[in-house]
Amino acid sequence: MPYRREESFRYEFSTPLNATFKLIKLATTHVDSKEGKMSIIDISGGGLKMSSHLELPDPQSTKTSIEMDIELANETLEVQGEVVWKKSYGSSHQYGIDFTYIDKESQELIKLLKKHINQSNQQHEE
């Protein structure tokens, strides 16, 4: 993913964080897909890098929007995003997701992420 100077905080998980997602829009068509599994590699207030064994459409040809349920610090956050890049590695695929929400939700995500990091650090110290 290209480096973004305007992003102030990006966290890379030492062990990818399991989460779920579903397709909500392909091009201009609203869809209601089954839930799929994903692993979050890194995350910021503006987006994330994920991997999944499920293959999504190439973002160069089809605009794909997804809804994700992410659990951080024992709280589940539901966020929506758009697939902006895709790389395939054998039977697994990595995707770059740009979140599509307002600043208030971005601040909530960063707050939960920092809480998650603090909890993880405390567990490692014990």
In a domain? residue 121: yes
Q: How far apart are CA 86 and CA 109, in angstroms?
A: 23
pLDDT tens for the 126 residues of the chain, in order? 344 445 567 889 999 999 999 999 999 999 999 999 999 999 988 899 999 999 999 999 999 999 999 998 888 888 999 999 999 988 999 999 999 876 667 777 778 888 888 888 777 666
CA 99 to chain centre: 8
In a domain? residue 22: yes
In a domain? residue 6: no
**Residue 45 is part of which domain span?**
12-125
In a domain? residue 99: yes
Distances (CA, A) of 102 to 56, 99, 105, 126: 25, 9, 6, 37
Burial class, 79, CB count within 10 angstroms (exposed 0-12 / middle 13-18 / buried 19+): buried
CATH code of 75's domain: 2.40.10.220
Q: How far apart are CA 116 and CA 74, in angstroms?
A: 8
56 three-state secondary structure: coil
What's the structural domain count of the chain? 1
In a domain? residue 2: no
In a domain? residue 1: no
So what's the pLDDT on residue 73? 83
